[in-house]
Amino acid sequence: MDHREEGRRRGRESAKEKANGLPKQMEEQFAWILLLWPSLEGQDIGKLLRNYDRERLACEPDFAQFPEMRGLIDRHVGEREGFREASGLDETAAAFHYSWFYLLWRRLNAHHVPYWEHAPVTDQCTNVFFPEGNEGVTISDNRDLGVHPRWQSWLGDWRPDNGDSPWCSIDNWEQGGSSSAIEMDEEPECCFPCDPDELCPAEEAWDDINVRIEFMTRYREFWGPGNRIWIDRHRNAVAVEKSNCRVAYRRPKVSGAVCITACSYIDPEMRGFKQACIRKIMEAKGETEGDNLDWAFEQGAHQRYQRLCKLTNAEAARPGGATLLGALEVVADEAVPYPERICLGGQEDPHNCVPTYSMLQHAGVMTGPRRRWLYRTLEDFDNPHPITTKKLKLLLGEGVEMQPEWQADIEAGLYDLGPTTPPVPQSH
């Protein structure tokens, strides 16, 4: 195989999907990071980005430890060539497409004191996986995406089967993902471009989750940060908690169920490391636990995560297994005040000091003859209300017939029958 030409093909395809609107996105992101890291003021961000992307291509991995990466350099170079050729954009744009995320979280985040109160983020997304639901494998999801105009183009028409979420199919090894980074984190030793998900032996890992765990632990400095749910074909699941260079795995405690949420770690060592990094920020800012917003946010996110685990395990322990509505109620939880509650409905967090809302929720029975989803989205961005005030919609799985009890629920007003025509693809 000609790796360079294969790279060009990939780059051209990627340009067709991602290049539209990229210059505007770059402008917004360059301005955003100056708010987040004021110490970057006066630096040429485009030059930083280009130099970092070149550095990544020149950083040769230890092939004795990572033999799967042999020969990849030609493909990566070819991808950038193909992307620029098909998009008509320059080297900075190509570097943004391939290396912006890595520059932010692996390089800049490791060396610059952040001011999240100036560059707010509202993502506190949540996923739950029940392999032993009473009707089949059952999942639930809550997305806190932030009230932002870019989501308006697709949220109103979103539904669980249109490909926006990779975990809307039980045949995916990833069944959930949420943001979770550590401020002032460690920087990996090697920055060579690598997608360990692509290199992991797919069939072996799909048959045994421990194969994926072993492989991804070896490659731990090349992926993340973030929290994930992984499964194998046998419905064995594990919750993954990841920083730049560290990773922890949380095995199920009740009926194989696992859950994740954002901005926190349950693993004691991971959480201890995160708190130590926040203390470095406190020292740099001259603040204490009593007035540091990062510390307050971490404490709140941890309360949320602990409550999520409690609710998940309680639903998993239900006689007969988790129900579809029970799974939804876990991620729609608003029974306690912020920050412990799972579902946001206009609360103010320590960083943002502005109301934030859950934007999308769904739960699904993913296997068996009763496959279906219940879902809802926050549709009115100008006058937002808690998502739990929105009526649920029912979407039947392919080939699944309406059941009398579901029709009775519709007639009783518990939910509406959602659209059954194929969705129109949206760019977002």
Contacts of residue 290, Cβ cutoff 8 Å, sequence gap at least 6: none
HSE at residue 12, side-chain half, CA atoms within 13 A, is 9
DSSP symbol at 395: E
pLDDT band for position 139 (cuts 50, 70, 90): very high
* Number of residues assigned to the chain: 428
DSSP state of 320: T
Tokens of 415: 């939910």
Res 426 pLDDT > 50: no
Q: State residue 87 phi and psi, 5-degree precision.
A: -90, -25
For residue 2, the model assigns a pLDDT of 86
The Cα angle at residue 103 between residues 268 and 107, in degrees rounded to 5: 55
Q: CA 320, CA 318: separation in Å to the nearest integer? A: 6
Residues 408 and 293: their CA atoms lie apart, in Å, by: 48
The pLDDT value given to residue 1 = 60
CB 194 within 8 A of CB 220: no
| Overall pTM surpassing 0.75 (yes/no) | yes
Distance CA 372, CA 405 (A): 13
Of the candidate ranges 54-68, 103-117, 280-294, 342-356, the one whose mean pLDDT is the lowest = 342-356
Strand partners, 130: 138
Q: How confident is the model at residue 227 (pLDDT cuts 50, 70, 90)?
A: very high
How does pLDDT run across 160-182, given as a tens digit for each residue? 876 666 677 899 999 999 989 99
Radius of gyration of the CA atoms of the chain, in A: 22
* Dihedral, 342, 139, 196, 6 alpha carbons, nearest 10: -120
Mean pLDDT of 331-352: 84
Q: Which pairs with CB-CB distance under 8 Å and at least 24 residues apart come from 111-115?
A: 111/187, 112/37, 112/39, 112/40, 113/37, 113/39, 113/184, 113/281, 113/284, 113/285, 114/36, 114/37, 114/183, 114/184, 114/281, 114/294, 115/35, 115/36, 115/37, 115/38
Identify the pLDDT of residue 350. Answer: 62
Confidence of residue 422 (pLDDT cuts 50, 70, 90): very low
Structure tokens at 303: 């309360």
CA-nearest of 301, 304, 285, 100 to 182 is 301
Contact between residue 379 and residue 402 where contact means Cβ atoms under 8 Å apart: no
Which residue in the block uniquely carries the two structure tokens 């992991």? 200
| 295, 296, 302, 303 alpha-carbon torsion, rounded to 10° | 160
User: Beta strands 415-417 and 392-396: pairing type?
Assistant: parallel
- 3-class secondary structure for 190-236? CCCCCCHHHHCCHHHHHHCHHHHHHHHHHCHHHCCCEEEEEECCCCC
| DSSP codes, 227-287 | EEEEE-TT--EEEEEE-SS-EEEE--SSTT-EEEESS---SHHHHHHHHHHHHHHHHHHT-
Q: What is the DSSP letter of 401?
A: P
Average pLDDT, the chain: 91
In tens, the pLDDT along 81-107 reads 999 999 999 999 999 999 999 999 999
pLDDT higher than threshold 60 for residue 225: yes
Residues in contact with 83: Cβ distance below 8 Å, sequence separation at least 6, in sequence order:
11, 12, 14, 15, 19, 89, 94, 97, 98
Q: Are 327 and 131 spatial neighbours (Cβ–Cβ below 8 Å)?
A: no
pLDDT at 425: 41
Centre a 10 Å sphere on the Cβ of residue 425 and count the other Cβ atoms it contains: 10
pLDDT at 384: 80
User: Is 329:142 a contact under the CB 8 Å cutoff?
Assistant: no
pLDDT tens per residue, range 280-330:
999 999 999 999 999 999 999 999 999 999 999 999 999 999 999 999 999
Q: Say if CB 242 and CB 226 are below 8 A apart.
A: yes
Q: How far apart are the first and last CA of the chain?
A: 33
